[in-house]
Structures are given as structure tokens and as C-alpha cells.
A and B are shown apart, each in its own frame.
Chain A
């Protein structure tokens, strides 16, 4: 089934540890995105990539980094996790063509930083 796969589904992490959330899509979408979702704040854009080889900063990029070595993969890395990064993280992708460019979301990764 075409779509977006995120891993891990859930993780508990000690503060200060490094963590990479993985995201893979098989729809050959050009653009990919990482959002975090916190109660009362909605979805906030962390980083995005309009095409392989390029990345950009979203609304809340501090403490996170991304890479886009190929079309399918867009990992999100927390270099040194802090408790305020406890959240649900959603990866998304869109075709980035002339159409509506609807975002398709992965199932999410729930991260708890203690």
C-alpha cells in the first residue's frame, strides 16, 4: 500500500540522548515535511524539503536537523533531546506539482523525553 512509513511508533528517551526519527515514502512525492503536534498548539512545521538535496527551516526548527539524500527518505534528528521536545511527530509529503498538492501524513511517532 502506497504511503508514508514512520519509525519508531513510540519511544521514551533520556534527556541529552541523540535520536533519529525515520520517514520513508513510496509515492515519489517531491516535497516532504516534519511537523510536531502538541495539545492546544496544533501542528507546527519543523523542517521541510521541496526536493531531494534541499531542505528548509519551518516555524520551530531549533534543536532539530534533517537531511534529504534521496526522494524517499527524510529523517529527523534530535542531536541532544530535551523534555520540551516531548511531542507527537508527523512526517508528511506532497507531490509539489501544479495540482492541489495535498499533504499525506504518516501515522506519527510519539516521543517522550525524560
Chain B
């Protein structure tokens, strides 16, 4: 089975940095994904890690430690449009994706 944990909510100020942690215990591992989902919309892909280390894409970075079953998504220079839910997802050996419940980030002016 899959067990993926992430905080329910986080609040930060515009221009600040926020780090969303994700821990997982899964039967098989074939990559970790982060998705962004604005209210009432579909999830959209943000980042993918399959090897340990940091992946940077503009203001967003994602880190993975497979031995610790741990990942984080780092959002820098927060903007109001970054207010959304951020979903951590783990892919198993059968290429199926299991999602955490999501972290709702609220950016305040």
C-alpha cells in the first residue's frame, strides 16, 4: 500500500519562501511528482524527481531523498497566484501514481 503525508495548510507572505514537506512509505518507487492545483481546476505538473537531490525550475525546486522517503517542494519569491493546493505523488513499479491529500498554500499580501 501507499502512505503519503504532507501538511494540510500553510500560509506565507508575498515574496517569501515556503517549503512543503512530503514523506512517503510505498510498496515500490519509480519517481516522485509534485502537482499544483488551483481551486476548481485540474492538477498541473510542476516537478519530477527519480534520483536523490535537488531539481530546480525557476522559482520552484524539488528535493528527494529515497533512503529517507522524503521530498520537499520549495517555492521562492511567492506571488499571489501561487495560492493553490500542492500535491505530492509517488509512482509505483506498475507506473500507477498515488497522491497525498495535498497542502493548501495561502499567500498573503
Contact = CB atoms under 8 A, between A and B. Distances in A.
Do chains A and B interact in one complex?
A: yes
B31 interface: yes
B97 A45 contact: yes
B15 interface: no
- In this complex, the interface size class of chain B, counting residues with CB under 8 Å from chain A, is 20 to 34
Interface string A32-67: 010100001111110010100000001100000000
Contact of B101 (A35, A41, A100, A105): A41
Q: How large is the interface on A (under 10, 10 to 19, 20 to 34, 35 or more residues)?
A: 20 to 34
A42 B45 CA distance: 16
B95 A101 contact: yes
A72 to B, nearest CB: 18
14 contacts: A33-B96, A42-B99, A42-B101, A43-B43, A43-B99, A48-B96, A50-B95, A59-B98, A90-B42, A102-B45, A103-B45, A105-B43, A107-B41, A108-B42
Interface of B: 31, 33, 41-45, 48, 50, 87, 89, 91, 95-102
